[in-house]
Chains A and B, each alone.
Chain A
Amino acid sequence: QSALTQPASVSGSPGQSITISCTGTSDDVGSYNLVSWYQQHPGKAPKLLIYEVTKRPSGVSNRFSGSKSGNTASLTISGLQAEDEADYYCCSYEGSSIFVFGTGTNVTVL
């Protein structure tokens, strides 16, 4: 049960698109379509952005999108805005109702 690997930081200018990767193994990301993404602002609880790899909960901006290829899932933020500056975490199911989070990515809007 090792943490999924994410880049420590990603940055972009307002209006640009950025992509955050989340690399696991064939035991987690590669085996299940139960990857979710969470946004966390400083001092706040995580907020669900994407579930089941590509789906957005009601109320989440369509600027956020998810995908997966093999053992790597990705979160893309389009039309980057100042309010998107936060930490982002992926999470994957590992089977037997076990879950694992990613190492986290800090997004900076330049």
Chain B
Amino acid sequence: QVTLRESGPALVKPTQTLTLTCSFSGFSLTTSGMYVTWVRQPPGKALEWLALIDWDDDKYYSTSLKTRLTISKDTSENQVVLTMTNMDPVDTATYYCARRYRGDLDAFDIWGQGTMVTVSS
């Protein structure tokens, strides 16, 4: 059974750096064609794609946020970490991680439950 779970601080102050962890099980990020992505959703607003990392450690970022984002993986721990610098109240959102496996169906097929992050002083 494939599962993903996001974890991180519920509250961060403006200008701080946010670090979120996606812990997953049921698949390996060393498998060719495997990816983990991050998506966020401000309260009452639409989903926004943020970043993607693949089995070969290639990394891809939203054009509008790429200067603030870093995605990395720890395959031994089955974790993917997203950092976002210079946090602002507009970054208040639920942050989701999800799996993409091109060897099966090419979409974000399994999602974590999300973690809510509030940016406030």
Contact = CB atoms under 8 A, between A and B. Distances in A.
Interface string A74-110: 0000000000000001010000111111111000000
Contacts, number: 68
A45 to B, nearest CB: 4
B111 to A, nearest CB: 4
Given A89-B47, A91-B49, A96-B60, A45 B113 contact: yes
Interface in A45-98: 45-48, 51-52, 55, 57, 89, 91, 96-98
Contact of A45 (B49, B52, B64, B111): B111
A97 B112 CA distance: 21
B49 A99 contact: yes
B108 A98 contact: no
Given A96-B60, A97-B60, A48 B47 contact: no
Given A1-B62, A45-B114, A103 B46 contact: yes
A62 B46 CA distance: 25
Report, as a range, how many residues of chain A touch the other chain: 20 to 34
A91 B58 contact: no
A3 interface: yes
Interface residues of B, number: 26
A96 B63 CA distance: 11
Interface in A17-66: 34, 36, 38, 40, 45-48, 51-52, 55, 57
Interface of B: 35, 37, 39, 45-49, 52, 54, 58, 60, 62-64, 96, 98, 105-109, 111-114
Given A36-B107, A57-B105, A91-B49, 7 more contacts: A34-B107, A46-B96, A48-B107, A51-B107, A97-B60, A98-B63, A102-B46
Interface of A: 1, 3, 34, 36, 38, 40, 45-48, 51-52, 55, 57, 89, 91, 96-104
18 contacts: A3-B46, A3-B48, A45-B111, A46-B39, A46-B47, A46-B96, A46-B98, A51-B107, A51-B109, A52-B105, A89-B47, A91-B49, A98-B60, A98-B63, A99-B52, A100-B49, A101-B46, A101-B47
